[in-house]
Structure formats: C-alpha cells, structure tokens
A = this chain, B = another copy of it.
Amino acid sequence: MSLAKRNYSRGDYLYRSGDKFRSLYAIHSGSFKTQVLHDDGREQVTGFQMAGEIIGLDAISTDIHTCEAIALESSVICEISFNRLEALSREIPPLQRQIHKLMSREIVRDQGIMLLLGSMRAEERLAAFLLNLSQRYAARGLSPTQFNLRMSRQEIGSYLGLKLETVSRAFSHFQEAGLIIVKIRAIEIIDLSGLQACLSRG
C-alpha cells in the first residue's frame, strides 16, 4: 500500500476538476473543502472534510476528477493508490465491504444535503450545519459545543445555498436568541436542544 504523506497549506489544491484519477486521499490532519464548478463560473461547495475522512470518490466514475479539493488550513494527506486498494479488497472481503460502505455513506450524506437545499429555509440550514459539525467534532473526541470554524462565511453560504450576508445574519440571530455565541470563527453552542428545535419546527 502506498501511504505517502504530504503536507498542504491553506488554499492549496489537492486536485482540480479535470485531473486524472489515480488515488483516493485520506485526511490525516487538517481539513478541506470540495467544490464543483459550473460553466458560467458559479461554484458550489459540496462538502467540508476533516481528519479521518476520505476524498476523491467522485473520480472513480470516469477516471477524471469532477470536483476540486482545497485545503482550509495546514493539512496532512495520505495518498492511497486506488488500483492497489481494489486489488487488496479482492483478497480481504471486510475491506471490500468497507469501501462499499464508504461510498454508500457519501451517497446518503449527499441526499441529506439535497433535503437541506431543497426544503429548508436559511436558519434551519445553518442550524443543521452547526449540529452536523458538532457531531463530527464530538466523534473525534473534541468538544461538541466549542470549536473554530475552518471556513469563511462565503464558503458556508456556498455550501448551504445562501449568500454570505444571510449566513452572517443567521449567526447574529442565533446569538440574539441565546442559542450560540459567535466570535468571528469561534463558535460556542449554548443551547444544543434549542438548535435542534430550530430544525424540526420546520
């Protein structure tokens, strides 16, 4: 297994749309965003990935990357040769199953975002976003209620289908409502269940 580690700084591309597909990338530390580009220049952030997650699954389909991945901070990446991974997985059924689960999980995640983009309003989207981050930090043994955002308001907006001003206003509104405390990129969640209620209230 080729497991070469490589460093990336904020803004570095891990791969670009159109690049030939060779490997999957496991985030060893740090975080990335992935985004797709439209002909007319519009871009849509399709996900934020953090340590322990795998990027590059989109490219298996055509052997060409269809989106691009950019480091949000200093990060370390393990490159995984896909040919070797496929070969290995033929000999190790549990590995095969893991790969399938990994890809399926990505499909389920995307469906959740479609639900969010298709039928939630601005503040529900932001609440869902914060709760998702909270869960993922918790799953890594970090605080689920205090963390620093790695991405800008603009990037959050692109991910959630909103303009950055709307994101900014929703943050302010949550703060006024006593749900969170926002200091630019430092977030403290005061009332987790209040945020959850924000979601189910429709």
Contacts and interface: CB of A to CB of B under 8 A. Distances in A.
A101 to B, nearest CB: 5
A111 B36 contact: yes
A109 to B, nearest CB: 9
A106 interface: yes
Interface string A143-173: 0000000000000001111000000000000
Interface in A105-145: 105-108, 110-115, 117-119
Contacts of A110: 107, 110-111, 114
A81 interface: no
A106 to B, nearest CB: 5
B115 A114 contact: no
Q: Which of A38, A106, A118, A199 counts the most chain B CB atoms within 10 A?
A: A118
A66 to B, nearest CB: 5
Nearest to A63: B101
A118 B119 contact: no
Nearest to A202: B40
Given A44-B114, A67-B111, A60 B119 contact: no
Contacts of A104: 57-61, 103
A175 interface: no
A29 interface: no
A66 B202 contact: no
Contacts of A117: 114, 117-118, 161
